[in-house]
Amino acid sequence: MTRDRPEPPLALVAELTHRCPLQCPYCANPVALARASSELDTESWLRVFDEAASLGVLHLHVSGGEPTVRGDLATLVRAAAALGMYSNLITSGVLLDAARLQALAEAGLDHVQLSLQDMEPGDADRIGGFAGGHAVKLAVARQVRAAGLALTLNFVVHRQNLERLPAMIALGETLGAGRIEIAHVQYYGWGLLNRDALLPTRAQLDAATTAVEAARMRLRGQVVIDYVVPDYYAARPKACMGGWGRRIMTVTPAGRALPCHAAEGLPGLVFPSVREMPLAAIWQDAPAFARFRGTDWMAEPCRSCDQREIDWGGCRCQAFLLTGDAARTDPACAKAPDHAMVLAATAASAAAPPSYVYRGDRRTRENVR
Amino acid sequence: MTDEAAVPVFADGAKFRFDRVRDSWVVLAPERLFVPDAHAVEILRLIDGQRSLGAIVDALAARFEAPRDVLARDVADMLHDLADRGAIRL
């Protein structure tokens, strides 16, 4: 190994599709979605998985969109298992049933991460824009465990459901989840459009943190609870993706390789296609992966900060979305010159929230463009 | 202190395997990667769903020159730590 060569990635996020029956207003997909006809075919994904395993990828996150819309899912999972990769299906669950889960378990799937939008069926279905979805998800959670698969319940939280966090944890316990992930909405794409409707208040957040700490004590050794304070309220930014081009690689439905699922929104970067370049060459040589890797790209206050190899300057996409410059310090950081923007957003959360803008809403799409 | 009759197992969704790229053993779990040191690898390799904690300590005591009570404490500490992080069930 040469000194300059980056450490191999630990994880590959395979976004099999952007198609999804849900329409959550905080969707992490780009506002312009890839069409089904531009998706990588089975053979291409099999080659990508093969290259990923050789490169050193240990965790494979099968994601989307909704990955279960793909008819070749079991074939892809079987290939990942044969390569020794740990496979994690990230799903809304609404297209799954007992037979399909059994087939995926037999194919070697290691883990299912099932997202729930809320506790109350009416509110959950309103967020997802999918009638009856919540009830299906609860049934699917039980079917996941019945198929012998490990389960994470992922609750997406925000100001309109954060009070229900203790009930969410109790539900995870009841459904046999080994891990519960409480994920605050992040403010990119659809989430940023809906930020004023979603950003919790400081008081909500403090109550949530207290509830998580109590549940962690109670469930120690039985259920792992992952919970991170949203970066808008933290003094330091998150180590987004564990650092740009350090841990994780994402491949989009159309085959673009990205250091982060939202990176296509950054201007001036050319993301290679896995149709044209091997994964190893992309990881090691692509200028877009080198652009924000490590600390050399940093300006002040990051450059001399003692946290620079802990948070890696925060999130490049957030820096760009809020300031127009992807190379600036993430405004979530209290030391950032642009931190006032984040403080203004949290201060505004004291006011009543506006209504949601939905993915799939034509009026919205025109506004976005 | 942990009951030595307890039988530790890898949690559902946890995998212990050798990674040829990094030339090391790894424990893979949901959103988690643990890289056990040489000592921990010896312990983890004795987990087979049959051996109790006590039997694991006995097996190690037969191979390594260390007082049994010291080994017992090390094994329990290591497995509890991994249990708290969701990779082991005790």
**Domain CATH for B39:** 1.10.10.1150
Residue B21 has pLDDT above 60, yes or no: yes
pLDDT of residue A359: 63
What are the percentages of helix, strand and coil residues in chain A, rounded to 5? 40, 15, 45
pLDDT of residue A31: 67
Q: What are the chain A neighbours of B13 within 8 Å (beta carbons)?
A: 110-111, 149-151, 178
Would you say A232 and A342 are in contact if contact means Cβ atoms under 8 Å apart? yes
Q: Does residue A294 surpass a pLDDT of 60? A: yes
**CB-CB neighbours of A104 under 10 Å:** 23
Which of A10, A110, A173 is the best mutation test for B, with the most CBs of B within 10 A? A110
Whole domain around residue B79: which residue ranges?
12-85
Tokens of B39: 């000592």
Number of domains, chain B: 1
Quick check: is B51 in a domain? yes
Asked whether residue B44 is domain-assigned, the answer is: yes
- Provide the residue count of chain A: 369
pLDDT score recorded for residue A45: 98
User: Rounded distance, CA A357 to CA A350, Å?
Assistant: 20
Residues A58-84 have a mean pLDDT of 97
Percent above pLDDT 70 for chain A? 95
Which pLDDT score, from 0 to 100, does residue A182 have?
A: 95
Q: Is the pLDDT of residue A193 over 70?
A: yes
pLDDT tens readout for residues B31-76? 999 999 999 999 999 999 999 999 999 999 999 888 999 999 999 9
Among A117, A68, A75, A125, residue whose Cα is nearest residue A97? A68
Interchain proximity A111–B30, CB inside 8 Å: yes
User: Has residue B63 been placed in a domain?
Assistant: yes
Residue B37 lies in a domain: yes
Query: Tokens 């490990």 correspond to what residue?
Result: A150
Query: Closest chain A residue to B86 measured between Cα atoms?
Result: A224
Residue A367 has pLDDT above 60, yes or no: no
Mean pLDDT value across chain A: 91
Asked if B19 lies within 8 A of A10 by C-beta distance, the reply is no
Q: Would you say residue B48 lies in a domain? A: yes
Taking the CA of residue B76 and the nearest CA in chain A, the distance in Å comes to 13
**Chains A & B: contacts with CB separation below 8 Å:** 56
Nearest residue to A60 via CA among A46, A43, A41: A46
Residue B22 lies in a domain: yes
The pLDDT, as a whole number, for residue A314 is 95
Q: What is the mean pLDDT of residues A134-162?
A: 95
How large is the greatest C-alpha to C-alpha distance in chain A, in angstroms? 56
φ and ψ at residue A213, rounded to 5 degrees: -65, -40
Nearest by Cα to A85 from A178, A9, A173, A136: A9
When mean pLDDT is compared over A35-39, A58-62, A119-123, A234-238, the highest value belongs to A58-62
Residue B70 counted as domain residue:
yes
* Cβ–Cβ gap B86/A59 under 8 Å: no
- pLDDT greater than 60 at residue B1: no
- Considering the domain boundaries, does residue B4 fall inside one? no
